[in-house]
Structure formats: C-alpha cells, structure tokens
Amino acid sequence: MRVLRRDVRLQDAALMYLTLVATLVVLLVASYQASGGPPRPPPPPAPPLPYHVPLDPAGRLRLSWSVSYARQEVQLQLWARDPRHGLLLGMSDRGQLTHADLLLLWDNGTQSYFGDAWSDHQGVVTLDRQQDYQLLEAHHTPQGFFLLFKRPFSTCDPHDYVIEEGTVHFIYATLDQPISSLAQLNLSLLQTGVQRVLLLRPDTPSPPLPADERTLDVLAPDVTIPSQETTYWCHTYQLPRDMPKNHIVMYESVITAGNEAIVHHMEVFECAPDTDPDMERVAPYSGPCDSKMKPPQLNYCRHVLAAWALGAEPFYYPPDAGMPFGGNGSSRFLRLEVHYHNPLLITGRRDSSGIRLHYTGRVRRFEAGIMELGLVYTPLMALPPRQPRYQLTGYCTAQCTHTALPPGGIFIFASQLHTHLAGRAVRTVLLRGGREVEVVQEDKHFSTHYQVIRMLRRMVNVLPGDVLITRCTYNTEDRNNATVGGFGIMEEMCVNYVHYYPRTQLELCKSHVDPTHLQKYFSLINRFNGVDSCSSCVQPDVEQQFSALRWDPFSSEVLDSLYRSAPISMHCNQSSARLFPVSTTHTHTHTQTHTQTHAHTHTHTHTHTHTQTHTHTHTHTHTHTHTGAPPYPCTATSPALAYSPVTGMARTCHRCLLS
C-alpha cells in the first residue's frame, strides 16, 4: 500500500484514517508542532524507565525502555532534542534498512502522523495493516520531545521483528522535510544510524551491597580522544602494594558527561601474578593499545575483572559469590581498555571514563570464576568462502566435566559471547543424559561490535558428566578465501566466556577437529580435483592447504560434514596450565581400541587491530582426545566412525569416502 498517493485504495484510506484517530488524533500537533492558543498543562510524569542508551554520536536522540515479562511487552520512550519533521526508529536483523520493522512519526506540513510500518527488500516503506505499536504519550518539554509507546515481544505479524533475548539492532533517523506520503520516503537518502542494544534484561532484583562496601575507580587519565572513528585506549593502574584479598560484588561504568555516545565499551583486566619475574613491575602507560610504545607486559594482562558496553547496567554478582582481587597470588597491576567510537571525528574532547569496582573485604562463601567454552584458536577450524550461513561447533565433553567439576556442579550466572567479524549468531546449550535440557545463552543477531557480559535470567547448574556445546554461525559471502581460526581480526573465533561459581581449576573446556581426519579431507579434495600429492615432499601447514583449495559447493559441503562428525581433540585445561586426567578413547570401525593422550604447552600473544583491539594471552595444555561430534546420519562424505561425546555411543558408516 502506498499512503496518500492518487491511486490509493478506499480500504487504505480507511486504514490511514483509523490510524489517525487511534493515535490521539495523531498527536493533534499540539505538542509536536506547538502553535498559537493557550498553553496546555504538562502531562503527568510517566513512570521512570530503567534502561537508557544514546542512539546517535551527537547525543540528539536517546532511547529508554522497560521490560514486562508478565505482559510480554516492552515500553519504549524516544527522546529527540529536535524532532524536525519526524522520527524513524526501526529494528532489523543486522541494522540494515531493508526488511526492517519501523515506527514512524512524520508530518505533511500541517498534520502529524504516527504509525507502524515496514520496508521491503528495496527499502520501500509501507504502512502496516496490523498496527502493533501503541502510542501512550507525546509531549514537548524545554529539554526536547518525548514519544512514549509500547509493543509486544511477538505480534504474529510477518512484517514485525520478533523481540527476543540477544542483540537488537536499532536503526534511527530524523526527517528533515515534510512528506505527504510514505511513498515519498526514501530511506537511502536519510542520514540513518545503527545502535545495538540488549533490549530484554533479567527481571530479578539486584542484591543489596554489603555494609562494608568500598569503591575503586579505574579511570582514563583525562585522555584527549583522538579525532578518528575507532580508538582502543590502554591505561595501566596500580593497586596498593599490600592490598589484601577482596571480593568484587558489583561494578558500573563512570562516563564523562557529554561522552555518553562516544565511549563504546570498556574492560578492566588483571595482569599475570607478580610471582612471574617479568611481571613484578608493569611500566606506566596511557595510550593507544596498538602503539609500539605499549609495554609488552600489557599483553599478559588478560584476566577480566569487569566489562561494560554501551547501554549496559551495573553488574551484580550473586549474593554468595564475588570476584577475587588483591592478596597473595594476584597482581598489583590492572589494565583499563576503553573503546572510543568517534564517527563525527570530534576534536579536543577530553575523557576520564572508566569502571567503578564495588568490593568488600569480607570475602563471600564462593569465589566466582570464568571458563572458556567453544573452539580452540586454531587454523584447523576454517570457514569456506562465499557462504551465507556456515556453522562451527565446540564441545566441553562429559569426560571433562565429570573429572573437573565438584559433585554439586557449578552455577553459571553470566556469559560473554565472542567471535570476530564473520560471526552472526552464537548459542551454548547444556546436555544431560544425551538430551538438551537448557539453553545457557543464545544471540541470533550477534555482532562482534557489541560484546557485553550478559546476565542470565536464571542461573544454570552444570553437573559432573554434563556436556556444553557452543555453536557459532558465520557469514563469509564477502570473502574469496578460506577464513581460518586464530587471533587475527580477519581470522575467526567461537567462544563463550561463562561466569560461574564456585570457582574450580577448570579454566578452558574447548575442542577442535582431529588433525589426522582433516588431512584426509585435504587428500580427498585434492584427488577429486586432480591435484597430485607428493608423499616425499614437506607437507605445507594447514593455512597453506586451506588457501590452496579450489572452493566449490562440494569442497564446502564435505568440510561441513567432516566438522560435524569427525573425531575431536579435546582441551580440558586447569588454570595452572596442566591438563585434567580425562580418559581418551578412540574406537575404530574394526573394533580396534587404543588410548592416546598428548600434552604440550603453547603460548599465544595477540593484538587485534582494525575494528577492535584486545589482547589474548593463553597458556594451554591440552589432551588430544579422540572423541567425536554428536552422531549425524551417515553420508557419502562422513568419516568411517561417528562417535558422540554426549551418549558415548559410536555408529559405523559403511562405504565412506574418508575412511
């Protein structure tokens, strides 16, 4: 339907009229385009909305909201310093203007309109026949224009976005000219922006802070924000030399006034313990994280104490747990990392933002810990090019949790999902007795640019013998070569950093495909493509082999089948870099059984550049475990044996290409 065009149909005109009436005669222009006549009394104040996020870098638009799980709806308030001739707020899969669910406020020069609309694959805007945004209030104040409305999580309207847990990509714009019809609205000509938000938040009340609570501010030292779009700023902070052991019970952001839309996210890392001679002293530093002047010791400041992203609320630990810092075995040095997002290239702006740690000297019953789930950072796990949707899966097996977790298990209360630029979705599930019993965390619209620590609505109890599976979905349509796993921003990761208690020695529970079976894959594809292999030549490394492949649907599908059903190499690591003694059995098709365990230590130091800069320093001891992914139907390209770490059962596949 094209609104207000000459060929408008009668039912469309009726819909437009009903929309006009249903929205308080479309604001009556009284508050939106105030003109002559006696002033109206201000409306009664709306109930405060607990969540807020600036939409645009200039701070001219702000979104506030509340969540009602009982009514399955969100209430939102859009504030504009100057609404001009209208406002646009929308939601789409990844912030694109096409296939977007839109809320529109516009005027034709004399009258104002409010409505639920949508855009098609060409960005053409149409008023929705099912109006699911309900206007509650609209008014002007000296501070700006306020628009209050609500919408259900799910509307059963195919043109509406389903609001669910995970990242929501909001698009926004201000209309600079009046329009007589939505058909005149060309989204591509608007100055639109994208803001990412966790719209649905836990509805549990925050626990009270202890009476002896103290605070420590880890702040940037009056930094001049560089006049470039993206900057990662690193600053070292030193704790008192004899600081005793404490528990962090809450942390929150401290943002310099006026910089709310520029400070994108921040993290505080604890450095490696000063028992390491190289870490007895960390040189003072405050500057770009990718600078050659940065002290090398900062690469070993990787233990996350706090992480905040735009729109995040204060982070509370459970009442009986806290994150330890200070005391024996910890470092006196911290690293603050601040991501400045300055697309307007503002110059001369000063900043002293950071994170405020709330802590107590009365340590709680349990210490909180952080565990890595997902895939090992290795080129063995790769993504074929030109794939609209490709999945990789990492396992934390029953053998590992059985050995490493206490009898009562652990309780996961938060998690931080992580991929690089190709990541589109992340999902971690808990399996018990061979069945999926709970989703730990899922984000169907994940963005590497928004990696906030997410509180779970309710804690997840992981027992010995349980399995945790983390699956990441990627898009490589813009790439012509394989994307291997690794630390570079153009390489990929699939990780869920879960926050849990009580703390155990299990720091890393991840997997990758068995290298021997991957070599069988390379041999198969090369034979299929008529590429001769040289048995006496030095074998190129995995990255070179992936780079040399001729990528087509067949090679991509065979690799997918391999990853889904080949044996895996399991990393079940203690925080001391020693492996847990898990049983590692590989069962062959011809009932041959042997046990194989390899242990070695490797260290990686990595700095992201381009879009984000992080430091990953890992010491891994891993056990080479010949188990496999959950069983899939035998296919012509599946390995000879599919072994399930979930059920412990093996299936034999006959006439398989990779056998």
Tell me whether residue 418 is one of the annotated catalytic residues: yes
The end-to-end CA distance of the chain, in Å, is: 58
Tokens of 6: 């000459």
- Backbone torsions φ then ψ of 43, nearest 5 degrees: -70, 160
Tell me whether residue 133 is one of the annotated catalytic residues: no
Residue positions counted in the chain: 659
- Environment class of residue 545 by beta-carbon count within 10 Å: exposed (0-12), middle (13-18) or buried (19+)? buried
Strands 321-325 and 366-367: parallel
What is the radius of gyration, based on Cα positions, of the chain?
27
- Environment class of residue 81 by beta-carbon count within 10 Å: exposed (0-12), middle (13-18) or buried (19+)? middle
Strands 86-92 and 73-80: unpaired
CA atoms within 13 A on the CB side of 49: 25
Q: Which of 113, 232, 500, 563 is an active site residue?
A: 232
Work out the number of other CB atoms within 10 angstroms of the CB of residue 344.
13
Q: Angle 553-565/515-528 helices, nearest 10 degrees? A: 160
| Cα 641–chain centre separation | 34
Q: Which of 159, 418, 449, 499 is an active site residue?
A: 418
H-helix or E-strand spanning residue 520: helix 515-528
How far apart are the C-alpha atoms of 361 and 273, rounded to whole Å?
20
Q: Are 507 and 571 in contact (CB under 8 A)?
A: no
H-helix or E-strand spanning residue 354: strand 354-360
Which of 87, 92, 39 is closest to 77 using CA atoms?
87
Active site positions, annotated: 232, 418
